[in-house]
């Protein structure tokens, strides 16, 4: 699409994929950080490009975070998306379901720990539905496929880190740059970290909020240009410069 637009000198924005980091520091509010991580992985059955599928948790909070995360994830109600009681529906089609299952298998083969989920449930009345349980992996390393490639399904990878400098380097070690999030009570640190992250859309103590007033888009292989906000309108507008002289023309001829 971009090459075709370029060949005809047309403006184009490209909002592509991501493998976004969500960083949780030791001092973060535990329940809010877990809520952000779940929203950033399981909303829309994980089929959102900005999802924070690499959840980096500082070592002092890591074990409590994982324990409570698993408790809350197991309570997610899977079912008919038209039912108001349903919290997570099916994937878009069989092909995507098979793709997500293959990534879950790859995670186990690579040595990650399947903390919960990972199965294809059979729901009464929806036996042929493209459902999959919300899945959490722990003991994930940066080189595993589930930490490198966009899955586009409800699969969360939890990675442990020690220091601020370390997690910034690891978070940026990806070809993508769509989104990022930081959870901490230390706002100066949050802004300091966000400033170093190579991502076009960032959240502090929140995740996946996309009001139309804010520009949305990424860097690196995650796209060009921005959607929403005045930035999107400006991208598809022509800027005209007009000079008006009210005095004499200073011509040297």
Q: How far is 52 from 55, CA to CA, in rounded Å?
A: 7
Please count the other Cβ atoms lying within 10 Å of the Cβ belonging to residue 230: 11
Q: What is the mean pLDDT of residues 196-217?
A: 96
- Count of CB atoms situated within 10 Å of the CB of 177: 23
Across the chain, mean pLDDT equals 96
Q: For position 135, what pLDDT does the model report?
A: 99
- Write the pLDDT tens digit of every residue in 160-199: 999 999 999 999 999 999 999 999 999 999 999 999 999 9
Strands 113-116 and 135-138, by their bridges, are antiparallel
Task: Give the start-to-end residue ranges of the domains of the chain.
Answer: 17-211
CA angle 77, 117, 25 (to 5 degrees): 95
In the predicted model, is pLDDT for residue 134 greater than 90?
A: yes
d(CA 242, CA 26): 54
Let me know: does 225 contact 199? Beta carbons within 8 Å. Answer: no
Please give the pLDDT value at position 93: 97
Instruction: Give the residue-averaged pLDDT of 31-60.
Output: 98
As a three-state string, the secondary structure of the chain is CHHHHHHCCCCCCEECCCCCEEEECCCCCHHHHHHHHHHHHHHHHHCCCCCCCEEEEEHHHHHHHHHHHHHHHHCCCECCCCCCCCCECCCCCHHHHHHHHHHHHHHHHCCCEEEECCCCCCECCECCCCCCCCEEEECCCCCCHHHHCCCCCCEEEEEEECCHHHHHHHHHCCCCCCEEEEECCCHHHHHHHHHHCCCCEEEECCCCCCCCCCCECCCHHHEECCECHHHHHHHCCCCCCCCCCCCCCCCCC
Percentage of the residues of the chain whose pLDDT score is greater than 90: 91
Most confident of 128-132, 152-156, 234-238: 152-156
The pLDDT assigned to 11 comes to 86
The pLDDT-based confidence of 18 (bands split at 50, 70, 90) is very high
* pLDDT for position 162: 98
Indicate if the pLDDT at residue 213 is higher than 90.
Answer: yes
For 17-211, CATH number?
A: 3.40.309.10
% of the chain residues with pLDDT over 70: 100
Residues 2-22, mean pLDDT to the nearest whole number: 92
């Amino acid at each position: 699409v971009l090459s075709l637009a370029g060949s005809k000198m047309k403006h184009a924005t490209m909002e592509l994929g991501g493998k976004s980091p969500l960083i949780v520091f030791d001092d973060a509010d535990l329940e809010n950080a877990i809520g952000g991580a779940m929203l950033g992985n399981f909303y829309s059955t994980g089929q959102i490009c900005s999802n924070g599928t690499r959840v980096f948790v500082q070592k002092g909070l890591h074990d409590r975070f994982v324990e409570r995360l698993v408790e809350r994830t197991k309570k997610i109600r899977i079912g008919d998306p038209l039912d108001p009681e349903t919290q997570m529906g099916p994937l878009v089609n069989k092909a995507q379901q098979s793709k997500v299952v293959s990534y879950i298998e790859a995670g186990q083969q690579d040595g990650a720990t399947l903390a919960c989920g990972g199965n294809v449930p059979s729901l009464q009345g929806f036996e042929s539905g493209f459902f999959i349980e919300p899945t959490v992996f722990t003991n994930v390393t940066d080189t595993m496929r589930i930490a490198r490639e966009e899955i586009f399904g409800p699969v969360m990878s939890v990675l442990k880190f020690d220091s601020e400098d370390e997690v910034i380097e690891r978070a940026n070690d990806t070809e993508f740059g769509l989104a990022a999030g930081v959870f901490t009570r230390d706002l100066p640190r949050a802004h300091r970290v966000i400033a170093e992250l190579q991502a076009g859309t960032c959240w502090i103590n929140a995740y996946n909020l996309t009001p139309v007033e804010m520009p949305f888009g990424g860097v690196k292989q995650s796209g060009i240009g921005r959607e929403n906000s005045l930035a999107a309108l400006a991208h598809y507008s022509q800027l005209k410069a007009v000079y008006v002289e009210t005095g004499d023309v200073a011509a040297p001829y």
